Structure 1
Amino acid sequence: MTDQSPSRRPAGRFLRMEHVIAEVGLSKATINRLHRRGDFPPKVQITSRSTGWWETDIAAWKADRRDAPRTG
């Protein structure tokens, strides 16, 4: 998914779950399901009790979804 090596650390800000929900238009359950399947950007541990996502990773995921071929 996303290379988190020191040579490729995303820049920008962290988004918490409520902001990710608003940004992608999916429910918390759907985001968690996609994350478990490896179909969503990885969470980043911000503090011992807090996780979030890099804003750039969410934007890239959205762009990939927009550019994906439609089926159906």
Structure 2
Amino acid sequence: MDVQSPVQELSIMRLSEVTAVCGKSRAAIYKAIRKGEFPKQVKLSARTSGWIRCEIEAWLRARMAAR
């Protein structure tokens, strides 16, 4: 198991990185958020959002464990 520093755990992923990592489109991500099936984004500024890296990684691990 990887041990991550607190800075790595709290790092922010932008939408382009999230789509690349999880394989979902932008529309599919936002639909899954509305359904409660994907981690919610964090508002960084009026026009900027991001996702907490460890939450996306946990979502991916859960998908892999469910197969």
TM-score bin (small chain): 0.7 to 0.9
Q: For residue 14 of structure 1, what is the aligned residue in structure 2?
A: 12
Which of 27, 30, 36 is 1:29 aligned to? 27
Hey, what's the Cα distance between the residues in 2 that align with 1:46 and 1:61?
21
3-state SS in 1 of match to 2:37: coil
One-letter code aligned to 1:48: A
TM-score, normalised to structure 1's length?
0.75
Which of 36, 45, 53 is 1:55 aligned to? 53
Question: Which residues of structure 2 form unaligned runs of 5+?
Answer: 1-7
Identity of aligned residues (%): 35
3-state SS in 2 of match to 1:40: coil
Question: Which residues of structure 1 form unaligned runs of 5+?
Answer: 1-9
Question: How many residues align structurally?
Answer: 60
Hey, what's the Cα distance between the residues in 1 that align with 2:30 and 2:24?
10
The Cα RMSD (Å) is 1.5
Higher relative helix content: 2
3-state SS in 1 of match to 2:9: coil
| Per-residue deviation, 1:13 | 1.1
